Amino acid sequence: MKILVVYRTEKDFVGKFVKNIAESLKKQGHEVDLVSRNEDLNFETLSSSMEGLKGFILKINEKENYDIIYTQDWSIAMPLLIPSKVLFEKHYCLFHDIEPSSKSKIFQKIVGNMLGNKLLVKTKELKEKFPKAIPSKNGLEVLDLKK
C-alpha cells in the first residue's frame, strides 16, 4: 500500500512515534511518505494551515494516489473535514491523548466525532470519549481498517 502520514512536528513525542510507525510500515513492504506540518510545510498554527494543508494534501494525492492518508492529531485532520470532507474514504487519524486546553478539547471533540470509526485512539480515556473509535497500541491498526 501507498501511505501518506501527515503530522504536526518532528520535535515532540508524536514526531518520534510517527517515524517508528513509518519504519514498521516500510519493513512490511509499504511505501510511506512523511510530511510534517511545521517543518516541511512551514505552517506553525492550525489557522495558517487550514487551506494550505488541505491544498497540499489534495495536490500530492492527485500525483501519488495514496491508499491511505494517515493524520496524527485533530489539527492535521481538521483541514480535510471542514468545511467539507475531502478524501474521506482514504483518511484515518490517530489521537494520542486528550487535549489539555479547553479550546483544543472542543476542536478535538468535533474532529473525533466527524471521523467516527476512522479514528484510532491510544488511551482508554479517548476510547470512552469517542466510542466509535478503534483502540490502537502502535498505530499500525490502520492497515486492518483499510482491508
Q: What angle do CA 85, 26, 79 make, to 5 degrees?
A: 15
pTM: 0.89
Amino acid residing at 132:
K
The domain covering 2-146 belongs, at the CATH homologous superfamily level, to Glycogen Phosphorylase B; (3.40.50.2000)
- Pick from 32, 105, 42, 36: nearest CA to 72: 36
The answer to whether 80 touches 91, Cβ cutoff 8 Å, is: yes
pLDDT tens-digit profile, the chain (147 residues)? 999 999 988 777 888 899 999 999 999 999 999 998 888 888 777 677 777 888 899 999 999 999 999 999 998 999 999 888 989 999 999 999 988 888 899 999 999 999 999 999 999 999 999 999 999 988 888 887 776
How is the chain split into domains, by residue range?
Answer: 2-146
Q: Dump the DSSP string for 10-37.
A: TTSHHHHHHHHHHHHHHHTT-EEEEEET
Cell output for 77: 485532520
